[in-house]
Amino acid sequence: MLRAKALFSNVADTPEELSFEAGDVLTVLELDVAGAAGWWLCTLGGRTGIAPGNRLRPLPVLVANTLTGRRLPPPPSRNQVRPNVHSALCLEIGMLSPLV
């Protein structure tokens, strides 16, 4: 989920548009909604509407989670084996031989 901070206030010109104040943090549901370049579908305070993307700055995930109080999952330990999706796919379609 993407969050964005409002750089400027926005007053809705149409019922589909979302009003917000500078500094508000919006949840971005979709970028360039319905093919309208630069318009993002967002939610704020239980309201949903489109917002001009040039008035918003996407927040890094860590900052967004800090603002919402959500905790990030712990990073994998150094000893944890991470699956290699590419290798698994190649093995599945026969491009690699399994290790014996």
Bigger pLDDT: 28 vs 89: 28
CA dihedral 32, 44, 54, 71 (to 10 degrees): -90
Q: Look at residue 35 in the predicted model and tell me its pLDDT.
A: 80
Q: What is the mean pLDDT of the chain?
A: 77
Q: Look at residue 78 in the predicted model and tell me its pLDDT.
A: 52
Q: Look at residue 15 in the predicted model and tell me its pLDDT.
A: 94
Fold of 2-72: SH3 type barrels. (2.30.30)
Give the start-to-end residue ranges of the domains of the chain.
Answer: 2-72
Give CA separation, 80 vs 6, 76, 84, in Å.
Answer: 39, 6, 12
Q: Coil, strand or helix: which one is 24?
A: coil
